[in-house]
Amino acid sequence: MKRSRGFTLLEVAVAIAVVAIGLIGAFNAIIQSADATARLRERALADWIAMNQISTMRLSGEFPEVDEYDGDVEFAGRAWYWSATVSETGVEDLRRIDMNVAWEETPDDPVTIMTGFVGRRVQGPVARIDWWGAAAGPGPGPDDAGDEGDEEDLDPGQDQDDQVEPPIPGDEDDEE
């Protein structure tokens, strides 16, 4: 009697089990990748909200008091909660802002935490800088606004007669 060649039922069952284990691992990797992508999307949105709130505080023109602030915002079709803690930095006229952003449903579980700084606007003369390395002194005063050809404005080793002004783009006088 001749024996038939082929797979036994046991061999087929083992092969199916091995393939099933491999497919489960592949599906888990796909699910983890999709979950990580969703978390990164939410984190990016929360980062944008934090940056927007810090920028709003900077651009308000007011130096923030040391305090805690919070609010709600609708962003990318979802309700978000943000809270900011403004603290001193040890540097006069500079504040630290610690911003937490969370989903409105879970405000105690932040999606992102970001830190920014805001400074008080400094009023006064702006120092003129000599781009060859040394400070050239205070900027022009109110009566110096139209003066040209001052000796300190010249390049080192250049006489006042050798000073050439660069052309201004779009100036019609240059085309004549």
Show the domain range for 108. Answer: 39-119
Structural domain contains residue 63: yes
Question: Helix, strand, or coil here: 112?
Answer: strand
- The CATH number of residue 85's host domain is 3.30.1300.30
- pLDDT value at residue 170: 61
Structural domain contains residue 103: yes
Structural tokens at position 119:
């400074």
Taking the whole predicted model, whether its pTM rises above 0.85 is answered as: no
Show pLDDT as tens, one digit a residue, over the chain (176 residues): 566 777 899 999 999 999 999 999 999 999 999 999 999 999 999 999 999 999 999 998 889 999 999 999 999 999 999 999 999 998 988 999 999 999 999 999 999 999 999 998 766 666 666 677 665 555 555 555 544 545 555 555 555 555 556 666 665 554 44
* In 20-77, beta strands by DSSP E: 68-75
Structural domain contains residue 159: no
Element spanning 21, H or E: helix 9-59
Structural domain contains residue 107: yes
- pLDDT value at residue 176: 47
Structural domain contains residue 94: yes
- pLDDT value at residue 80: 97
Nearest Cα residue to 79 out of 107, 103, 111: 103
Structural domain contains residue 1: no
